[in-house]
Amino acid sequence: MNQEIHTRLRWIKHYQASRNLGVTCQRCGVSRPTLRKWLQRYEESGLAGLVGNSRRPHSIPNKKIFMEQEQLVLLLSHENNLGARRIQNVLKRQYQLSLSLATIHKILIKNKVKLLRQPMREKKILRYSRPIPGERVQVDTCKIAPGIYQYTAIDDCTRY
């Protein structure tokens, strides 16, 4: 017998012995609605009623993507070796189908399509530099208090 069924059966046996819902709930550490639910299921179906039901929905009325759309995304990915963003653009332009990047990405992950990764390029730092000291000076102004300002000047050549 399953551990869950055994525990629920113990709750019911305790209730049948005491005939007090509050005491049983307190002793077993379960809420009244939960105990009532399992009592009702036990009365209707016996031990089979103590088996937990799946919480999965029976249908998905607002499903975002259908098999035809999924097949189209996979076809574009395999034939043209495209990533999610380009697949999204092709779907909009050629098929008038609007899918989010996240949805396309989920389809590719679900079907174990190897995603294209571009290496991150280091950004080149652009420094202002002049060969002669004093040729260019950067000046910054900061207001500290009413009527009080701080002026900072940095020489581009020497960085002083």
Q: Measured between alpha carbons, how far is 25 from 37 in angstroms, rounded to an integer?
A: 12
Query: In the chain, what is the straight-line distance between the N-terminal and C-terminal CA atoms, in Å?
Result: 81
- Domain-by-domain residue ranges, the chain? 3-50, 67-110, 128-160
pLDDT of 119 > 80? The answer is no
Which of 137, 134, 133 has its CA nearest to residue 154?
A: 137
Structure confidence by residue, pLDDT tens digits, 70-110: 999 999 988 888 888 999 999 999 999 999 999 999 999 99
What pLDDT, on a 0 to 100 scale, did the predictor assign at position 20? 92
What are the φ and ψ backbone dihedral angles of 15, each rounded to 5 degrees? -65, -40
Which of 104, 72, 68, 98 has its CA nearest to residue 85?
A: 104
pLDDT band at 8 (very low <50, low <70, confident <90, very high): very high
Degrees to nearest 5, angle at CA 39 with 38 and 45:
85
> Coil, helix or strand for 50?
helix
> Coil, helix or strand for 138?
strand
Contacting residues for 138 by C-beta, under 8 A, at least 6 apart: 128, 153, 154, 156
Bridge partners (DSSP) of residue 148 are: 145
Going by the DSSP 8-state scheme, the letter that residue 118 receives in this structure is: P
Structure confidence by residue, pLDDT tens digits, 29-40: 999 999 999 999
> Coil, helix or strand for 122?
coil
